[in-house]
């Protein structure tokens, strides 16, 4: 997947060898300064990208030329990740003309079990 990342986040916990992570939810929140909008968040697992659209939360804090915007998402999913694996997120710069600063966090929930 070819997209421009505004920020990369590698989750601290990895999927160990011999285990399978079943992901049940993917959550993210972000803010941008400068008035720009975000594109999708991409979760990359071994070169396969999963896109999660952001929802803008509330009106931008004026003035619009330097506005701070808040975004979030919480998606119910069913993704299986066999270890060893690292989960990485990238925030895509959508209509990002004017994004001066961007920052956020991601999390996944699910459970770890032995590979069948």
| Residue 43: φ, ψ to 5° | -100, 125
Q: Is the pTM of this model over 0.85?
A: no
CB atoms within 10 A of CB 116: 5
Lowest mean pLDDT among 9-13, 58-62, 85-89, 106-110: 58-62
Is 1 or 27 the better-scoring residue by pLDDT?
27
Q: Does the structure show a pLDDT above 50 at 15?
A: yes
pLDDT digits (tens, 9 = 90+) for 63-99: 766 778 889 999 999 999 999 999 988 887 665 556 7
Q: How far apart are CA 61 and CA 33, in angstroms?
A: 9
pLDDT of 97 reads 53
Q: Please compute the mean of the pLDDT values over residues 29-48 and round it to a whole number.
A: 84
pLDDT of 16 reads 92
Q: How far apart are CA 14 and CA 1, in angstroms?
A: 22
């Amino acid at each position: 997947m070819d997209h421009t990342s505004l920020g990369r986040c590698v989750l601290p916990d990895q999927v160990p060898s011999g285990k399978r992570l079943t992901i049940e939810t993917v959550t993210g929140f972000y803010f941008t300064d400068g008035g720009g909008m975000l594109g999708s968040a991409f979760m990359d697992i071994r070169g396969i990208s999963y896109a999660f659209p952001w929802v803008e939360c509330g009106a931008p804090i004026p003035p619009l030329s330097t506005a701070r915007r808040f975004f979030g998402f919480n998606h119910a999913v069913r993704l299986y990740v066999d270890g060893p694996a690292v989960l990485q997120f990238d925030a895509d710069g959508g209509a990002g003309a004017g994004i001066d600063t961007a920052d956020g966090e991601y999390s996944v929930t699910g459970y770890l079990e032995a590979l069948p």
